[in-house]
């Protein structure tokens, strides 16, 4: 039996071997930290016996597969602890997820934060008891009876949904048994000490709001305590940066029960939003785009032609007008197609780049709504590019460079994924192969590293997704480039070629910000509300030392506003120290303190969020300085929070 390892080396064994024994043969140290093995691309328990030639990657908690198994095993340890403490609790599901794990449960009485502490303490006992985690299987009917005996109705329902004749997989650790496909670690002690329960939430059974609301225990686990500590620190920082909290404190936006998932932008939030949109228009004008606007409601026939009615109907809001079905648009692309088709086109007109800041509506489940990050209506910074086949690569490169320009401006790092054909796709194999190759070639020529995300493309074409990283290391999928051969065919789009014949254009769908609302939420958290000067809703706060100097302060404010600088005056009867602290809390980039000397000499005393006291200067020189900063969209760094002058 030949085992090909990750580094390409080959080990030969004369008899079948368990993965854990192969790990010991390679290194005792590896065997101690091994979590799972990936055999010919499939993740397996370490107890799995190999009896044939194969590839093998033995994974630790430093690998995605190993970390997932560690977290999955931690979810079982948590469920075991809950069943010990609250035996009447019914088990639903408990998978590993991107940042940890969860378990959905149906308790007899509601859980509280105090219960989390008790459960975590019981988990420590289970880890110390070092139960072997062992897999066994039962025939389907026996598995159903087994779970009925254990009074686990949710598990019974899950098994009943599985095909007839299938062997059902279970895992046992001590007195605890769970329906599970695995894989898992070998022993509860291997879960280690680097785990923590994070929060409680509600979750509908099987994600269906018509089903019973269960309680979801969230937790996380890592291979090392230092990694857990770093994650907890990041989560604490994330709470401070929560855009919902800062959005309220800074007067940017609000939500209301009159329209769940439909955000209200407040005056300062509108300044922020419009500044972003002005920037969007500026860079798109330079990049050769024209701007269009298409209707928010269009008839059912259009959405059937585009394919959205079949592929996206459950997420669309519909209405009836003059006895005809209409839908509020969830995407802008069909409207853009109609604009293209509104007049004859020539190859000389291509590429035609049409941008649209279109308001779209999508039905999201109430439990998935989250501030500006997950809403039911948002402005999408769409653009649709119509082109000839030989223009594909160049246009994709142009869009990628535009996205890079925008993300670099905000200080975002990012990585790229290429998503390929999904199961519910439409179109021919030939079109999909050509489209996918076009995206790959463009990425290769740009030298952009990327990973393949199999089967996650749009139903009409493959796509490139840009995942940006914020200031505390979280990633967000925002920009996307989608290549589409299907809509031009379905709408029978044409252009007259140089040969005098009619040809079918190819279409790119792309966004840079994605959802403007979501991007604003990301920016709030990325900058912790302390926006760069060009983006700040209020760029300067004028602070008179006393009421005697308010008139001068108001004249300074007017001069600033006349110069195109967003300024306000704090005319309250408060001490100057209080006003300064208030402006700092509001994340104002610049404060201009004015008193008798400033008024007599036509000066302003400048304090900034970036460097504290910056000294006195003339108002004209300050205006020149800040206008240059705004025009260049500079990202100035802020001084340390404990700097004495900011105390």
Per the residue annotation, which of 63, 190, 284, 380 is the catalytic one? Answer: 380
> Across the strands, what pairs with 39?
42, 56
Catalytic residue among 382, 431, 484, 570: 382
Q: Are 349 and 285 in contact (CB under 8 A)?
A: no
463 as an active site residue: the answer is yes
Q: Are strands 495-496 and 352-361 parallel, antiparallel or unpaired?
A: unpaired
Distance CA 607, CA 590 (A): 6
- d(CA 533, CA 570) in angstroms, rounded, equals 19
Would you put residue 137 in left (φ > 0), alpha (ψ -120 to 50) or beta? beta
β-strand pairing of 590-594 with 603-608: antiparallel
Q: Quick one: CA torsion of 577, 583, 589, 591, rounded to 10 degrees?
A: -50
Element (H, E) at 483: strand 475-484
Which of 362, 360, 365 shows the shortest CA–CA distance to 376? 362
Quick check: is 380 catalytic?
yes
Catalytic annotation, pick one of 362, 376, 587, 607: 362
Known active-site residue 333: yes
Residue 167 DSSP one-character state: P
Residue 15 is a catalytic residue: no
300 has catalytic annotation: no
Question: Hey, which residues does 17 pair with through a beta bridge?
Answer: 50
Q: Indicate the helix (H) or strand (E) that contains 24.
A: helix 19-26
Residues 6+ apart with CB under 8 A from 25: 11, 17
Tell me, yes or no, if 155 is annotated catalytic.
no
Residues 425 and 432: their CA atoms lie apart, in Å, by: 9
Name the active-site residue from 361, 440, 463, 566: 463
DSSP collapsed to 3 states, 196-263: EEEEEEEEEHHHCCCCCEEEEEEEEECCCHHHHHHHHHHHHHHHHHCHHHHHHHCCCEECCCCCCCCC
- The catalytically annotated residue of 83, 268, 361, 384 is 384
Residues 6+ apart with CB under 8 A from 186: 20, 45, 46, 47, 132, 133
Q: What is the DSSP letter of 545?
A: S
Query: 451 in helix, strand or coil?
Result: strand
* Catalytic residue flag (residue 54): no
What's the N-to-C CA distance of the chain in angstroms? 69
How many residues in the chain? Answer: 647
Maximum pairwise Cα distance, the chain: 95
Q: Which residues of 15-30 are buried (b: 16+ CB within 10 A; e: fewer)?
A: eebebbbbbbebeeee
Which of 241, 505, 469 lies closest to 395, judged by CA? 505
User: What phi and psi, each to the nearest 5 degrees, are found at residue 351?
Assistant: -75, 140
Rounded to whole angstroms, how far apart are CA atoms 123 and 109?
A: 20
Among residues 333, 393, 518, 587, which one is catalytic? Answer: 333
Q: Which of 503, 509, 579, 607 is catalytic?
A: 509
Residues with a catalytic annotation lie at: 333, 362, 380, 382, 384, 463, 509
């Amino acid at each position: 039996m030949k085992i090909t390892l990750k580094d390409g080396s080959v080990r030969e064994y004369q008899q079948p071997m368990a993965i854990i024994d192969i790990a010991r043969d390679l290194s005792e140290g590896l065997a101690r930290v091994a979590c799972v093995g990936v055999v010919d691309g499939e993740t397996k328990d370490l107890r799995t016996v190999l009896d044939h030639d194969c590839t093998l990657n033995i994974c630790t908690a430093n690998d995605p597969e190993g970390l997932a198994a560690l977290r999955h095993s931690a979810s079982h340890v948590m469920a075991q602890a809950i069943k010990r403490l609250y035996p009447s609790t019914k088990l639903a599901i408990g998978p590993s997820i991107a940042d940890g794990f969860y378990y959905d449960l149906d308790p007899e009485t509601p859980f509280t934060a105090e219960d989390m502490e008790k459960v975590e303490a019981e988990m420590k006992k289970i880890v110390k008891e070092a139960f072997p985690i062992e897999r066994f299987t039962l025939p389907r009917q026996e598995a159903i009876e087994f779970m009925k005996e254990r009074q686990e109705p949710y598990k019974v329902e899950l098994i009943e949904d599985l095909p007839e004749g299938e062997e059902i997989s279970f895992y046992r650790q001590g007195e605890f048994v769970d329906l599970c496909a695995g894989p898992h670690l070998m022993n509860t002690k291997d879960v280690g000490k680097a785990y923590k329960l994070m929060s409680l939430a509600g979750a509908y059974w099987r994600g269906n709001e018509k089903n019973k609301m269960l309680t979801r225990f969230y937790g996380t686990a890592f291979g090392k305590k230092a990694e857990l500590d770093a994650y907890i620190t990041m989560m604490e920082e994330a709470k401070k940066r929560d855009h919902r909290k800062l959005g309220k404190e800074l007067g940017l936006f609000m939500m209301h029960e009159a329209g769940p998932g439909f955000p209200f932008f407040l005056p300062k939030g509108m300044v922020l939003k419009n500044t972003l949109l002005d920037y969007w228009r500026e860079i798109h004008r330079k990049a050769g785009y024209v701007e269009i606007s298409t209707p928010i409601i269009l008839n059912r026939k259009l959405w059937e032609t585009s394919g959205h009615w079949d592929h996206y109907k459950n997420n669309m809001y519909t209405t009836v007008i003059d006895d005809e079905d209409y839908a509020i648009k969830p995407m802008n692309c069909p409207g853009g197609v109609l604009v293209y088709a509104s007049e004859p086109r020539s190859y000389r007109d291509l590429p035609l780049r049409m941008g649209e800041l279109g308001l779209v509506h999508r039905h999201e489940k109430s439990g998935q709504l989250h501030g500006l990050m997950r809403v039911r209506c948002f402005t999408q910074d769409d653009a649709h590019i119509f082109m000839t086949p030989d223009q594909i690569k160049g246009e994709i490169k142009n869009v990628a460079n535009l996205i890079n320009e925008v993300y670099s401006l905000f200080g975002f790092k990012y990585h790229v994924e290429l998503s390929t054909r999904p199961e519910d796709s439409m179109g021919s194999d030939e079109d999909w192969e050509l489209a996918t190759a076009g995206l790959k070639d463009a990425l290769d020529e740009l030298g952009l590293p990327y990973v393949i995300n199999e089967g996650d493309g749009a139903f009409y074409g493959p796509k490139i997704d840009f995942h940006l990283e914020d200031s505390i290391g979280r990633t967000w999928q925002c920009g996307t480039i989608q290549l589409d051969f299907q809509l031009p065919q379905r709408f029978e789009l044409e252009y007259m070629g140089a040969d005098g014949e009619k040809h079918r254009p190819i279409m790119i769908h792309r966004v840079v910000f994605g959802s403007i609302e979501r991007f604003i939420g990301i920016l709030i958290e990325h900058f912790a509300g302390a926006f760069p000067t060009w983006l700040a809703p209020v760029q300067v706060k004028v602070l008179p030392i006393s009421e005697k100097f308010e008139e001068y302060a108001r004249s300074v404010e007017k001069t600033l506003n006349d110069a195109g600088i967003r300024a306000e005056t704090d005319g309250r009867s408060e001490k100057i120290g209080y006003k300064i602290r208030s402006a700092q809390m509001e994340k104002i980039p610049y404060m201009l303190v004015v008193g008798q000397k400033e008024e007599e000499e036509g000066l302003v005393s400048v304090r900034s969020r970036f460097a504290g006291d910056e000294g006195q200067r003339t108002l004209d020189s300050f205006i020149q300085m800040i206008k240059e900063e705004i025009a260049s969209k500079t990202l100035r760094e802020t001084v340390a929070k404990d700097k004495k002058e900011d105390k």
